[in-house]
Each structure stands twice: as structure tokens, then as C-alpha cells.
Structure 1
Amino acid sequence: MPAYGDRYAVTCFDSLDYCASRNNFKAVAQSATFHFVKGDICAPKDVGSVLRSYHIDSIIHFAARSHVDTSLNDPLSFTRTNVIGTQVLLGIARKLGSSKRFIHVSTDEVYGENDTQRPLAFTKEQSLHPTSPYSASKAAAEMIVQAYRKSSRMPAIIVRCNTVFGPHQFPESRSPPTLLLASDPLIKARFRAYPALHHSLEPKEKNADPWRWSHISAFLWAGDAVEALDVIFHRGPDGETHNISSNDHLQVGEVAEKIFRCFHPDGTHELDDWIEYVLDRPFNDSMYWTDDSKLRAFGWKQRTNFDEVLQVTVDWYCRESEGFWPNCDGSASTVALDGDIVIAEGDRIRAV
């Protein structure tokens, strides 16, 4: 927002679910051009109210449930938010004329996994083969967006991002900022409060079904992702689909070791002493790789070095994460992560 000055008025519409925090927009909360509205994207009344009240004419649709493990345990909630929520937003936006520009933020997971034996980067023309309830719900949402592009001539753009990481991310994802909780004695005790984070490396037990060390994802710094969205918003033609890709393709084991070395750069500690090995989920995509040459032709490029921004992320979590995700309404809420029950209560998240 600081880069835009008073060129735009920005309204953030969010349900403040268990993984949300008002601290995410604390830096701009007092700005005259920023407004926050709490509401449910699946509720037409809520959506219509915010679009009317703030005279919205352009929408960047981030709202989604996105944790794959949770989608395996509670798939219907992902269908509700990601599919029905998208349908409601598109329908109300079309009715009210709030869609001079509609950007739907999707995921590279809609493609399914790349062939590791003959790896080729997926382009936007690749057919979709989602492999989890999460990615299936995002693919379904894309179909609805495409239908509105055709039937209603809605000026919509679809964006498929690699794994985005950085500060402020709720610690349930497997991207780098969450794994760091296992890597330092000062915060290791809190690791048990986030059971979903344990899915990291190959199990030591011989009879275990391993998450192979070689699973590969492309990790995209949040700042680079924002710059890409800025380019798409201002220069991207309506009706297009864009991949936002990273050059940093890393195995899970490499990421865990890089995080570990942020804390112990002198090599005096062994990685295996700090990692808890567990079973993988029943199926896991082995590789994600996408082609974003079309986006780069508009002038965007990845600016960051993975190791440098990983250190920035680690430093933020050590410095700021304590109490960053309080329960938004002040009352305890119960969340299931990987079959374990987690209570969000006050300024703490604890396992039971």
C-alpha cells in the first residue's frame, strides 16, 4: 500500500478464521485509504454489503482454505470456501458491476505433479490433474471463473502461484517458515503445539511409509509474489492465465537443512538431532514446476535470493511470532490439524 499512496482505496474482506490475525494489517490499519471488514465470502449478504459500501470496482480474490492435510480431514469446508465462496463473489460482483478487474489467485497444485523422470515445466495450457481435496477445490473454482469470463464477459485473470513463503504465515504449512519451529532450543518446546509441521523428512523406522527426501517444490518469496500480482493487475490482459514461478526448486530435505543452518551455521550441531521423522500422507505430489515466461515478458522477474530471505523469515518468527495469532474474537476456538486437536485461546495455541 505505501507504494500506491492515495491512488487506490483498499478494502480487506476476511472471516478472521483460526489462521488469521489483525496483526497482518497492523502497519496500514490507521491509513485513510485502508478499510477492514469482517465477513463470510459464502454469505451473499456480507459480500454484497462490502462491495456496495466501499464502491469496489476491482477484486483480487485471495480468500481460500489452503492447508492440504486439513483438506484430507475436512474436505467439505474447502469446497464451501474455495468453490461456493468463489461462486458467490463472482455472482455478486457481476450483479453490482464491481469487476472492472477480477484476479483469481489459484495454485500450481491444480496441475498435479510433474514427471520427475522427464521433468517439463507446466504451462497454462497444461490440463489440470489435482490430487487433493484442496487442489481439486481450487481447480473447480477456476472452472467457475472461466465460465463467468465466457458467459458474462467478466474481465477475469487466473493466477497460479508456486509455494509462497515469508513472515506472517500461520504455522501449519510445510513451507520454510513453519519448519523452523523445530530448529532452535528456545522455541523447540512450542513445536509440539503444531503437529502438522512434523511431516518433514524421511522416517527412521524401517517399516514406515516414507515421505521421500526428494520431494521438490518451488519456493517463492512473498514480496516477489506481490510484485508479480502488481504487474498482472496493471498490465495483464483480461482473460489470461498466468503462472508465478520461482527459480528456487528445492527438496524438502534441503529446505529443512537450510533452516537448521540459520540457527547453527558453525556446524556444531547435527540435523538429525533436531528433526522428528513421521509418516507421510497417503499420497504426495513429488514435484511442482511451472513456466512463467509469459509473465516475465511483461517485465516481472524474481528479485530475491532464497537463502537471504529465508534468514529474514527465520528472524521474524523468532522475534515476532509469539502471540501473533491470537483468537480473533477473544473466545477459544477448536481446530483439527492432522487429526490432533489444537485450541486457539487468548494469545496461545496449544495441543490437547
Structure 2
Amino acid sequence: MKNILVTGGAGFIGSNFIQHLLSQRDDLHIINFDALTYSGNLDNLSAIQDSDRYQFIRGDICNQDGVSCLFQQYHFDAVVHFAAETHVDRSIKDPMRFIQTNVVGTANLLQAALGYWEKLDVPAKSAFRFLHVSTDEVFGTLGKDDPAFSETTPFAPNSPYAASKASGDLLVRSYFQTFNFPAVITNCSNNYGPYQFPEKLIPLIILNALNGKPLPVYGDGQQIRDWLYVEDHCRALVDVLEKGTLGETYNIGGDNQPANLEIVKTICVILDELRPASDGQPHENLIQFVPDRPGHDRRYAMDTRKIEKTLGWRPLEDLQSGLRKTVIWYLENPEWVQKILQRPSFQDWLQANYVRRGEGKA
């Protein structure tokens, strides 16, 4: 693979993936196609913005003509599809935006890629890959003693976000089954690490704690997630892209299933060590429980035996090491943080989703 199209590459996982891939391979060129919505941030890629192996094109996968022109103008050996609306809370407030991007946008990309692929010569056609990056939330929720999600777990999405991603997954599967289109799907658990937009739990807690603000925890804080350090996810995606079997899906997880409240308390302990509060009080004192969000899934867990056995991948970071690396990154990148925090749209979101929820107005 020499030329790779990455959609949504200015987002959290996409930007980490681009930097990881360029650091591992010196024989490829990446085109980053991103609409730069609220969570897209070219500052994530400032270290490589002048590289002759990287090119940014601003565009929206919902624009069918724009996507078609992209495939007419460039030669691609692979597509890695990250572009998506991703936050459950936002999907509750604006479901149609998620349907448009995650369903219609994915369909646009698939159709353009199919038309491009069908015209390739035989060797290029055989080498082409389309990697669709999805989520564990398509499987719904687990009870306390239920077995972890496997690749054959039936879809049972419980939020507009999860339903829109499940729809995208099914579209990709249908193109493989109907057209023999060379697609592969990954379903990952909750990611965390550098460059994550701070409306998500872990960066929000880190930044609020540093600023002495309340640490909002939904409900009783006992929701369980399988936390995956983003660099481990990027390694898995490269393995699937290069070695995965066409038409297959692969679960990717971090083998960590703590309750959200435990995550918050662990971050507080790390910050107590690395950046003690000016008043000497433990950061844990800032924890504030807020009303739970509607339809909040109780537990996720991923069975990753398939990718481990067939591709030899395993996560390298455990929760303690990954969280410590993440906290240190946010401490060492205050300029990146401040640019995000100063966005009026971000402050409006915090007010709507946490402050007003805490006041019983959401």
C-alpha cells in the first residue's frame, strides 16, 4: 500500500493513527479528508503538517459529489474510514446529524470507493482494502455476569449514535457480500490518550481537576467500559489493514473493565502526585454526581481472542500505564488544551450537558 485515504483524520483516533502509520512506514503517502467539525483539530497533526508524505483536504463525506471527485482525482491503495459523529450525549440532542454522517456519509464513501475499485487493474484490485472503524456500542449493553461481546454478538444499539454506527457496519458488510468489495470492519472499545477532545470522560476529568472544577460523574458512576489506549488501537488497525481477512470483523479492546468512578479516582490519584492542588486537598474531593443520561449502557466488555489468535495483536498498555501517559500528555501540552477550552461552542456544550444536567435542567 502506497497511497492511503484516511477520513476523519483530524479527529482523536484518526490523527493518532496517521502519526503512528507514518512513523512505522516510510514508503507511503496519506491523504487526510476531514470536514473539521467541532472535534476535528489540525493542531493534532502539527508535527507532520509539512511532511511531503501527508496532505490534508477539507471535505465532508456527506457531500456525494465531493467524495466522488476525490476518487477521480487521486489513486488510493486503501481507505481507512474514521469520519463519524461519535459522542452519545450529542446524539441524544441531535440524532439526525448522526444519521446523516454515520449512515449517509458512509454510504457515499462506499459507493465512490466501489466505483473506483471496479475500474482498477487486477493487481491493484486485489491489493485494495477498505477498513471501516466502528465501536463496541453497536452490541448494546451487558449485564454484570454476561460474557463479553464477540464478533458474532447480535447488534442491539441503545442510542442514536450506536444505531447509526451499526447501520454503517451493515452497509459495509453488504458491499462485501453483494459486490465482493474488499472491506474489513473493526469494533473497538472506549479509547483514551493524547489529542482526545475534552468532552469525553477522561480528558474532561483531567482538565476540570487541574482547574479546580467539579468532576461530573453520571448516575452512581458504576458504568463499566473496556478502556483501550489509543496507540494500542492504532497498532491493531495496522494489523487488520495489512493482514486481516476480507469480509471479517475484529473486536479490539484494552482488557480493562473498571467502573467509571474508578477511572475518575485513579486520575485523581495520578494528579495528586504529579500536580497537587494549590489548597493541598485531594482532587477526589471535586467529584460531583450528576443525573444519568437517557439510555446509558451499563457495561461493555470485548472478547478479543479472534484478533489475538489470528493476527497476533495484544494491547501493550494496562490501565495504570495508559492513564499515566495520558495525564502527562495533557500536562505537557497546555497550548493545545487552551485552544480547545477557549472555543465558545465547547463552553456551551459543557453548560448544556453537565452544569444544567447537575441543576436538573437537562
- Specify the alignment match of 1:243 in structure 2: 251
Match 1:139 to one of 166, 172, 175: 166
Any unmatched runs of 5+ in structure 1? 192-197, 202-210, 343-352
Q: TM-score, length-normalised on structure 2?
A: 0.82
> CA 1:336 to 1:93, structure 2 compared with 1: closer, same or farther past 3 Å?
farther
Instruction: Output the aligned Cα RMSD.
Output: 2.5
State how far apart, in whole Å, the 2-side matches of 1:51 and 1:150 are. Answer: 22
Percent identical residues: 32
Structure 1, 52-61 or 119-128: larger mean CA deviation: 52-61
Q: Equivalent residue of 2:71, what SS?
A: helix
- Specify the alignment match of 1:227 in structure 2: 235
- Specify the alignment match of 2:54 in structure 1: 34
Q: Is the 8 A contact 2:220 2:289 kept in 1?
A: no
Match 1:77 to one of 97, 117, 121: 97
- Specify the alignment match of 1:188 in structure 2: 212
Q: Equivalent residue of 1:337, what SS?
A: helix
> CA 1:229 to 1:341, structure 2 compared with 1: closer, same or farther past 3 Å?
closer
Tell me if 1:276 matches 2:288.
yes
State how far apart, in whole Å, the 1-side matches of 2:159 and 2:29 are. Answer: 36
Q: Is the 8 A contact 1:11 1:54 kept in 2?
A: no
Could you tell me how far 1:308 is from its partner in structure 2? 1.8
Q: Is the 8 A contact 1:218 1:250 kept in 2?
A: yes
Tell me if 1:156 matches 2:183.
yes
Q: Is the 8 A contact 2:268 2:282 kept in 1?
A: no
> CA 1:19 to 1:321, structure 2 compared with 1: closer, same or farther past 3 Å?
farther
Could you tell me how far 1:277 is from its partner in structure 2? 2.1
> CA 1:319 to 1:188, structure 2 compared with 1: closer, same or farther past 3 Å?
farther
Any unmatched runs of 5+ in structure 2? 1-20, 355-362
- Specify the alignment match of 1:105 in structure 2: 133
- Specify the alignment match of 1:311 in structure 2: 324
Bigger share in helix: 2
Q: Equivalent residue of 2:298, what SS?
A: coil
> CA 1:76 to 1:199, structure 2 compared with 1: closer, same or farther past 3 Å?
farther
Tell me if 1:127 matches 2:180.
no
Q: Equivalent residue of 2:165, what SS?
A: helix
Q: TM-score, length-normalised on structure 1?
A: 0.84
Which deviations, in whole Å up to 9, do the C-alpha atoms of 1:107-129 show, x marking residues without a partner? Answer: 0000001121x320111111000
Could you tell me how far 1:47 is from its partner in structure 2? 1.1
State how far apart, in whole Å, the 2-side matches of 1:231 and 1:11 are. Answer: 20
Q: Is the 8 A contact 1:23 1:324 kept in 2?
A: no
Which deviations, in whole Å up to 9, do the C-alpha atoms of 1:171-204 show, x marking residues without a partner? Answer: 1112x222112222xx235x7xxxxxx6415xxx
State how far apart, in whole Å, the 1-side matches of 2:248 and 2:335 are. Answer: 41
Q: Is the 8 A contact 2:86 2:161 kept in 1?
A: yes
Q: Equivalent residue of 2:80, what SS?
A: strand
Q: Is the 8 A contact 2:251 2:304 kept in 1?
A: yes
> CA 1:332 to 1:270, structure 2 compared with 1: closer, same or farther past 3 Å?
closer
- Specify the alignment match of 2:8 in structure 1: none
Of structures 1 and 2, the one scoring higher in RCO (CA 8 A, sep 6+) is 1
